[in-house]
Structure 1
Amino acid sequence: MHVPKSPFHNLRHTHATILMRMGENPKVVSERLGHARVGITLDIYSHTNEEMQKNTADRFDDRF
């Protein structure tokens, strides 16, 4: 099987996106990426955060 070449940054982004979707603490993801502030991570991965917000609302709704 041939794996297409991908810039390192793409792998880094994919790694962070997967961690965020897994529900990993954003501070942990931020530290893994070497960001100076967790806010940087949250700004970059806000598309993932929107999905997490919906999932949280759904879980809350199911509970109550």
Structure 2
Amino acid sequence: MRTFRGICQEAGIEGLTIHGLRHFFAAFLLAFGENPKVVQEILGHASISLTLDTYSKVLPGLKERAVEKLRGFLSLSRHEN
């Protein structure tokens, strides 16, 4: 723990905890499209629902991106017929 604090101090980062770093890491992976099952396994969670319940709610724009993907799919489907 002292090593982590020392690294943060040298980098000029205040208030970051190992738990906060873990939270950022998981949210970052999910935000950039990593498979939730992979994130679950990396974090060592017993269930994928714990991973998703904990980290997906902190990601702004998830609903909007899902709607945009659906719009794109529907647009492609119309052009193919």
Q: Give me the TM-score of the superposition, normalised by structure 1.
A: 0.81
Distance 1:53 1:5 in 2: 30
Moved beyond 3 Å, runs of 4+: none
* Greater RCO (CA < 8 Å, at least 6 residues apart): 1
1:25 is the counterpart of 2:35: yes
Q: Give me the TM-score of the superposition, normalised by structure 2.
A: 0.67
Q: SS state of the match for residue 45, structure 1?
A: helix
| Amino-acid identity (%) | 37
RMSD value over aligned CA atoms?
1.8
**Structure 1 residues not aligned, in runs of 5+:** none
Distance 2:49 2:32 in 1: 19
2:68 alignment partner, one of 23, 38, 58: 58
Shift of residue 60, structure 1, vs aligned partner = 1.9
2:24 alignment partner in structure 1 = 14
| Residues matched between the structures, number | 63
Greater Rg by CA: 2
1:39 alignment partner in structure 2 = 49
**Structure 2 residues not aligned, in runs of 5+:** 1-10, 76-81
